[in-house]
Amino acid sequence: MQGSGMGSSQPDGRHAIILAAGAGSRLSDVEPVKPLTLVHGRPLLLHVLDALASAGATGATIVVGHRADAISAILGDAPIPATPVHNADWASAPNGVSVLAAANAVRPGSFLCMSDHLIDPLLPQRLLAGAQAPLSLAIDRRLGHPWVDEADVTRVRTEGRAIRAIGKGLCIYDAYDTGLFLIGPELIAALRARSGPSLSDGVAALARQGLAEAVDVGDSPWLDVDDARALALARRKWRD
């Protein structure tokens, strides 16, 4: 795979795209606006932005949908300038459509992350250090880790750095998708070529072209706060 310097700095600072449009139905009984769920007194979304800012992000685009007003209202507390962009199809379309809503903000080497994934600051730093392809996905090879919901996590099958398959239903896999990527215009083109795409659809399309890679981020902590169990775990175990 040809190196393309995707981990190098962007001339005007590295941008981040955060997907925060979904309803978060698995956590709705606890918190009706999942990105605003508090862990140690700070909303999940701001934890994500804190980690990315520490890794060099200087601005962010937040894709909103469900309770867009409430999410937009906290962006003034973000560690970097953050602008909301609305996904009008948030209630019915897969998450690739949310990525497309932020297409105008995507440039080579942009971070892409989920708004409900707690990530240690070391994780994006390791991704940056290892990234070489137009799309780089931070993966965790610690199969069976107690923080991971095996039934819901997105699974990845790799061959060296190459991504061979990605999806929640994979039977054969050797890594977990941590929810953090470095992306560029190639992902936008791959998503636009499909009708109602998921993010995994776009990743798989680039992988078939040799344009996507997996970067092992070792033991860097991360946690998908997708349900009440994960939230309780985050409040007990996560360290700022």
Tens digits of residue pLDDT in 124-158 = 999 999 999 999 999 999 999 999 999 999 999 99
Pairing of β 14-20 and β 57-64: parallel
Q: Which two tokens stand for residue 115?
A: 């708004």
Q: What is the mean pLDDT of the chain?
A: 94
- CATH classification at residue 229: 3.90.550.10
Rounded CA gap, 181 and 17, in Å?
Answer: 10
Q: Are 103 and 77 in contact (CB under 8 A)?
A: no
Looking at 13-17, 21-25, 68-72, 85-89, which range is the least confident one? 21-25
In this structure, what are the phi and psi dihedrals at residue 182, rounded to the nearest 5 degrees? -110, 130
Is residue 200 situated within a structural domain?
Answer: yes
pLDDT at 9: 53
What one-letter code names the amino acid at 47?
Answer: H
Is residue 5 situated within a structural domain?
Answer: no
For the segment 46-50, the average pLDDT, to the nearest whole number, is 99
pLDDT greater at residue 42 or residue 13: 42
Q: What percent of the chain has pLDDT over 90?
A: 89
pLDDT at 195: 94
Is residue 190 situated within a structural domain?
Answer: yes
Rounded CA gap, 101 and 62, in Å?
Answer: 10
Is residue 215 situated within a structural domain?
Answer: yes
Is residue 8 situated within a structural domain?
Answer: no
Q: For residue 17, is pLDDT > 50?
A: yes
Is residue 1 situated within a structural domain?
Answer: no
Segments forming the whole domain that contains residue 49: 14-237
For the segment 181-208, the average pLDDT, to the nearest whole number, is 97
Q: What percent of the chain has pLDDT over 70?
A: 95
Specify the long-range contacts of residues 81-84, CB closer than 8 Å, at least 24 apart. Answer: 82/18, 82/49, 83/59
pLDDT digits (tens, 9 = 90+) for 211-228: 999 999 999 999 999 999
- Read off the pLDDT band of 240 (50, 70, 90): low
Domain count, the chain: 1
Is residue 9 situated within a structural domain?
Answer: no
Is residue 31 situated within a structural domain?
Answer: yes
Q: Are 74 and 45 in contact (CB under 8 A)?
A: yes
In this structure, what are the phi and psi dihedrals at residue 57, rounded to the nearest 5 degrees? -65, 135
Q: For residue 3, is pLDDT > 50?
A: no
